[in-house]
Amino acid sequence: MPYVNVGKENSGNIELYYEDHGTGRPVVLSHGWPLSGAAWEKQVPALLGAGYRVITYDRRGFGQSSKPTSGYDYDTFADDLHKLITTLDLRDFALVGHSMGSGEVAGYIGKFGTERVSKAVFIGALPPFLLKTADNPDGVDGAVFEGIKKAIAADRLAFLPSFLANFYNLDELLGKRVSEQVVQYNWNVAAGASPKGTLDCVSAWLTDFRKQLSRVNVPSLIIHGDADRILPIASTAIPLSKMIKGARLAVIKGGPHGIAWTHWEELNSELLNFLGQTVKKDVAA
């Protein structure tokens, strides 16, 4: 299994697990919280079938990556991703992120620019700025995140079912677009994540990406479900689409947060259509 070393904690290395399949133009997929690169199960075959080289990876603390007790912030996540990209010497690649992974798209470009990146895709987006403040009145009240942190600290494993219920809108979609087995599998993956990493990432969600987004000068696609209960479209995708010059917003009707599984056909169609477009980078932006 391939790993890339991104640092050390005391006597142990911090390593990211990744998978690298196919040939052609690279597509890097960054997963959502609290899952792993395996969450792209419905997208990887479609991308490979369309002739792309597909790289998935597990964020530090999640999946098969190392589980250190620090580094759960977007500055470190950007560094980790940069180490993977430079180790594989990826160029002219599309960077695709779902949920928390969409923050890595913004954070990576904000820190390292778009020299190597050809396109950006934000799915179930977290940027531009989730927290409600005086200059961000459409954000989410901070008490919501404090409640999430308290619930995770009290009983992380008991918290996960309620989170997944809203991740997939199970009251409406269970047995129709997502099975009990998929939900249980997601619980298993999430349960295996770092307890501290799971908790610390909630604070990372409140990162203000608004300045970093000014560096996104490549063709960009935003895909969001209009029934997303985790990251409501009005607080995320809609303002994000206005901040990125020329970005296209594709709204998935009835889509929950977990659209990569529940609405995979619609998502894949939007993604493949966008990746197949040959649009030059806006170097003037």
Give the Cα separation of 61 and 74 in Å (integer): 13
- The helix (H) or strand (E) run that includes residue 55 is strand 53-57
Residue 211, both tokens:
């300045």
Q: Is 92 a catalytic residue?
A: no
Given the residues 31, 98, 224, 257, the one annotated as active site: 257
Q: Is 220 a catalytic residue?
A: no
Give the Cα separation of 181 and 123 in Å (integer): 23
Q: Is 257 a catalytic residue?
A: yes
Crossing angle of helices 100-112 and 74-87, rounded to 10°: 70
Given the residues 30, 65, 66, 99, the one annotated as active site: 99
Given the residues 31, 36, 228, 235, the one annotated as active site: 228
Which residues, in sequence order, are CB contacts of 277 under 8 Å at separation 6+? 219
Burial 246-256, CB ≥16 within 10 A → b, else e: ebbbbbbeebb
Q: Where are the beta strands (DSSP E) in 108-219?
A: 117-123
Catalytic residues: 99, 228, 257
